Chain A
Amino acid sequence: MKKSKIVQYNKWGYIFLIPFMVVYLLFQLIPLITTIWNSFFENYLSGLMQVGPNFVGFGNYADILSNPDLWLYAGNTVIMWILCFIPQLFFSLLLAAWFTDPSLRLKGQGFFKTVIYLPNLIMASAFAMLFYTLFSVSGPINSILMQIGLFKEPFDFLQNIWAARGLVGFMNFIMWFGNTTILLMAGMMGIDPSLFEAAQVDGANSTQIFFKVTLPLLKPIFIYVLITSLIGGLQMFDVPQVLTKSTGDPMRTTLTLIMYLNKHLYSKNYGMGGALSVLLFIITAILSLLVFRFSSGRKEA
């Protein structure tokens, strides 16, 4: 065999891809396919007795979609996501605008950028546990409110629909606004500074620059943030799970879709769990496609 003179570098590309492909296959693709496969079976543990797997076709999907509560859980998830996303957007935009505005000459930017990102580093469950303790009937928040005379009796935050949902939203907001700020900052710094200068020369004030120049040019990043946050919101689980001790109290108004999924996994109900996961997968896939379209369309702009 004669050695070819042309050096082939292609194979290195494939070799370097192997670790990723192996991990992807083992932990993503195979579970994905088995989930879809499982969703067509009745398959659960009753005590220590295995029931199934019996093929039931789309039976699990029919069960899930005909359950009126599914819409309640979907609604809960979206409401709690909105409660976190709106304040998040407001504060992130404000902070990103301040951080990127050279005329403000903010001192200690590095410090503040780190601090606003810190909550994201705490484990969500630990964070939820902390809030559970803070806002419990005998917790410090209640004793402070009672000492300053706002409340006569302790208020059970976690037994009030809007207080509980609000807390979940608030916690997610605290955890994620730093991340969004950094994304938006990146978007803002990517805008050509000459546009701002031109606007200034034309006599625009800073409010006008923000609304007429920054915001429209930020749109692609904006949509990216919106949709990734929505996908993350759909997967909301740990915070409400720990905060409400998995009950979704009051009256399951804080029970998210993934918490509902988790309820089926208690009995190792792979059929129902699989069907619900597939439905969530479809929604998430559609949302991801939207991101893909917007982010690939950006090049033309």
Chain B
Amino acid sequence: MKKAVRKMIALTLAAGMVLSMTGCGGSKSASSNGGKVFNIYCWNEEFKSRVTDHYPGYEEVDATTGKIGDVTVKWNITPNQGSAYQDNLDQHLLNQEKAAADDKIDLFLIEADYALKYINSDYALPVKDLGIKDDELANQYKYTKDIVTDSKGVLKGVSWQGCPGVMIYNRDIAKDVFGTDDPETVQAKVKDWDTYNQTAKEVAAKGHFMTSSFVDPYRVFSNNVSGPWVQDGKIVVDKNIEQWINYSKEWVDEKATNVYDLWDGDTWGKGFYPEGNVFCYFGPAWFIDFCMAADDEASIAHQGGWAACEGPQGFYWGGTWICGCKGTDNADLVADIMRKLTTDKDIMTEIVNADNDFVNNKPAMEALAADPDYQNTVLGGQNPLPMFCAGAEKIDLSNLSPYDQGCNEKLQEAMKNYLNGNGSLEESMDLFYKAVEEMYPEVTH
């Protein structure tokens, strides 16, 4: 009997050893070529549609796979909300070294809210190491490079888009309230926050909502703060954020807005349709192109019923950067995707014309901004590019921190309680601090 047991143990151990040995086959160098599977990690379909439509030689196989030459492209898409994407990405990054060659991440995308976390890690490959020279990137907007430059001055990602934001308003409601939908007249009505608040009252008095949710103008405040969210390990709530909270209370009390979650199609997204009765949204080019349900015939966007003006303050929102991942076995393909989508003027102009995105190519954008033939159909034929071009020059990302997504999301969640009357301002702020400190144990307030 003992013999049998001993045999069994020996067998189990041996099996375990064999299994663990197969895990060590990956190469140790930072990048190589010749991989058969190209793994892309991202959080929505946006980048995928850019690659499908504009990367030469990409063939779609099915919803999650494609082919470039004889390399199979695998799309790993995890939604951004609640940090699900980062969670998933982190897990795979931490495993990157041990993963089999075909499972290694080759390329991943990051967003402004958490870019620093990855840029300051070793997982994002320096763009220079992929063979892309600085002068190839000369046409890109400076801010898009600043944000993905690590603390040692090494550029680690590139973006095909710029994200200066504008106020997007509903032409019908503008006509109803102000008698005109002319962008200059509307801009005069929202030129600063006092005027904006006055206008919000007018809009509410006519039975419309100024914005769909109190969160809509959030980025306009959070981008114009005087310091990052976390300073010396302490959470700092900026004056601008406090002002947003105070204004939100006013807007909700005046019924000029609602307490909805961003991205919730049944509540927040109602405003994309005429019956939603929402005057304005705040967003950059990707918002207009990608989020306003333009492909749905019933939507306002489909009928070209929106228009854009600068709004009370300049801001930016999001933006997607492409990073090559340490350990990739398709470094040249990563570099080529970066080159084609973020430096090739023809492809980038094609993206603007096809998708109305604001691409990261200054000469191309300035040419299109001055082009009287360029029209944005969602905005009823208006050309918003001059506004975007002016906005892109002014974007300042010096107050970003790696904690931004957590802080922004948790603040919005906590304020929902305050605005719904479930807790006082103090209690709700407390809730915010608690939630952030659970997420980032090293942070206090």
Judge whether B445 is part of the interface by a CB distance below 8 angstroms: no
Q: Are B439 and A47 in contact (CB under 8 A)?
A: no
Q: Please name all residues of chain B whose beta carbon is closer than 8 Å to the beta carbon of A161 when the two chains form the complex.
A: 422
Q: Are B438 and A250 in contact (CB under 8 A)?
A: no
Judge whether B59 is part of the interface by a CB distance below 8 angstroms: no
Judge whether B402 is part of the interface by a CB distance below 8 angstroms: yes
Judge whether A46 is part of the interface by a CB distance below 8 angstroms: yes
Bound-state Cα–Cα, A10 to B434, Å = 57
Q: Are A136 and B267 in contact (CB under 8 A)?
A: yes
Q: Are B441 and A272 in contact (CB under 8 A)?
A: yes
* Prevailing SS type, chain B contact patch: helix
Bound-state Cα–Cα, A8 to B2, Å = 13
Q: Are A251 and B431 in contact (CB under 8 A)?
A: yes
User: What mask results when residues 9 to 45 of chain A are scored 1 for a CB within 8 Å of chain B, else 0?
Assistant: 0110011001000100000000000000000000011
| Nearest chain A CB to B80 CB, angstrom units | 14
Q: Are B413 and A247 in contact (CB under 8 A)?
A: yes
| Nearest chain B CB to A80 CB, angstrom units | 17
Bound-state Cα–Cα, A220 to B118, Å = 57
Selecting from B82-90, B215-223, B331-339, B389-397, the interface stretch reads B82-90
Q: Are A48 and B438 in contact (CB under 8 A)?
A: no
Q: Are A156 and B420 in contact (CB under 8 A)?
A: yes
Partner of A46, one of B260, B413, B442: B442
Selecting from A211-219, A262-270, A288-296, the interface stretch reads A262-270
Bound-state Cα–Cα, A138 to B117, Å = 37
Which residues of B405-429 are within 8 A (CB) of A?
A: 413, 416-417, 420, 422-423, 427-428
Q: Please name all residues of chain B whose beta carbon is closer than 8 Å to the beta carbon of A124 when the two chains form the complex.
A: none
Closest residue on chain B to residue A154 by CB atoms? B267
Q: Please name all residues of chain A whose beta carbon is closer than 8 Å to the beta carbon of B41 when the two chains form the complex.
A: none
Q: Are A267 and B90 in contact (CB under 8 A)?
A: no
Q: Please name all residues of chain B whose beta carbon is closer than 8 Å to the beta carbon of A251 when the two chains form the complex.
A: 417, 422-423, 427-428, 431
Which residues of B261-292 are within 8 A (CB) of A?
A: 261, 266-267, 270
Q: Are B441 and A48 in contact (CB under 8 A)?
A: no
Q: Are A250 and B118 in contact (CB under 8 A)?
A: no
Q: Are B422 and A250 in contact (CB under 8 A)?
A: yes
Q: Please name all residues of chain A whose beta carbon is closer than 8 Å to the beta carbon of B416 when the two chains form the complex.
A: 159, 249
How many B residues touch A, CB cutoff 8 Å? 39
Q: Are B117 and A47 in contact (CB under 8 A)?
A: yes
Q: Are A47 and B121 in contact (CB under 8 A)?
A: yes
Bound-state Cα–Cα, A263 to B431, Å = 13
Closest residue on chain A to residue B261 by CB atoms? A245
| Nearest chain A CB to B410 CB, angstrom units | 9
Q: Are B423 and A264 in contact (CB under 8 A)?
A: no
* A46-B121 contact, Cβ under 8 Å, with A11-B4, A251-B427, A251-B431: no
Judge whether A197 is part of the interface by a CB distance below 8 angstroms: no
Judge whether B123 is part of the interface by a CB distance below 8 angstroms: yes
Judge whether B1 is part of the interface by a CB distance below 8 angstroms: yes
Q: Are A264 and B420 in contact (CB under 8 A)?
A: no
* A137-B267 contact, Cβ under 8 Å, with A46-B441, A245-B82, A249-B416: yes
* A48-B90 contact, Cβ under 8 Å, with A251-B422, A267-B441: yes
27 A-B residue contacts at CB 8 Å?
A8-B1, A10-B1, A14-B1, A22-B12, A46-B440, A46-B441, A47-B120, A48-B90, A48-B94, A48-B117, A48-B123, A49-B121, A51-B441, A137-B260, A156-B259, A159-B420, A245-B82, A245-B261, A247-B413, A249-B416, A249-B417, A250-B420, A250-B423, A252-B431, A263-B438, A266-B439, A267-B438
A-B pairs, top 5 by smallest CB distance, nearest first, are A250-B422, A47-B117, A138-B266, A263-B438, A11-B1
Interface set of A (CB-CB < 8 Å, partner B): 8, 10-11, 14-15, 18, 22, 44-49, 51, 69, 136-139, 156, 159, 161, 245-247, 249-252, 263-264, 266-267, 269, 272
Known: A48-B93, A246-B82. 17 other contacts (CB 8 A): A8-B1, A22-B12, A44-B442, A46-B440, A69-B434, A156-B259, A159-B259, A249-B416, A249-B417, A250-B417, A251-B417, A251-B427, A251-B431, A252-B431, A263-B435, A264-B438, A272-B441
Interface set of B (CB-CB < 8 Å, partner A): 1, 4-5, 8, 12, 82-83, 87, 90, 93-94, 117-118, 120-121, 123, 259-261, 266-267, 270, 402, 413, 416-417, 420, 422-423, 427-428, 431, 434-435, 438-442
